[in-house]
Chains A and B, each alone.
Chain A
């Protein structure tokens, strides 16, 4: 049966196509020039977020007590940076080919499922003696699940 397209208008899908650069991992083998820009923006903002997270954690460890209530505002900086990542990723998906979108959506579904399984099952491991971990550790299986699923998807439709 023919699948129905999601209500997303592709942006940046016109224009000449070129091979995806080496850093555009997870993208279709050929991208429109506009979507290479979208992919680049996504990667740059991801790097900015990662840097902000590291710097914020370090700053709070060193100056946390001195900052007082301002520490809460500082702690929100990585969150604001990550909103930029989400925005950039949405732009990338909107400009992407429908098959690339399908691969990434399936990747997100697998990543979400992996994180959920971790959250639901790890307390059982804790009951069996495993160390108690912070909930943020669930992001690790989420990211791994997403990355593996996108890689397998790209391979499947190669």
Chain B
């Protein structure tokens, strides 16, 4: 699954540790999600979307689909 987490985080100038703190997960999890190594659980995906004020499908996309707003 692809995601825009890194882009969204960079727009707010947050570090991975800061984002992890806000999501109440480890920095390792944030890094793994950003790099596509780990797909977050549904509650965490909702938490991420809510944090950025977006819908889930605006943050996460199934493999092969480009998320809206991505280059």
Chain A residues engaging chain B, CB cutoff 8 angstroms: 1-5, 10, 13-14, 16-17, 28-31, 97-100, 102, 156-158
Contacts and interface: CB of A to CB of B under 8 A. Distances in A.
Contacts of A28: 26, 28-29
What is the size category of the interface that chain B forms with chain A?
Answer: 20 to 34
A30 B41 contact: no
Contacts, number: 68
11 contacts: A2-B40, A10-B24, A16-B21, A17-B26, A98-B29, A98-B40, A99-B25, A99-B38, A100-B26, A158-B28, A158-B31
B20 A17 contact: yes
Contacts of B39: 1-3
Interface string B15-51: 0010011001111110110000111111111000000
A3 B41 contact: yes
B7 interface: no
B24 A99 contact: no
A110 to B, nearest CB: 18
Contacts of B44: 5, 98
List the 9 shortest-distance A-B pairs measured between CB atoms, nearest first: A5-B41, A28-B26, A97-B26, A99-B29, A157-B32, A28-B28, A13-B24, A97-B25, A29-B28
Given A1-B62, A5-B43, A5-B44, A31 B37 contact: no
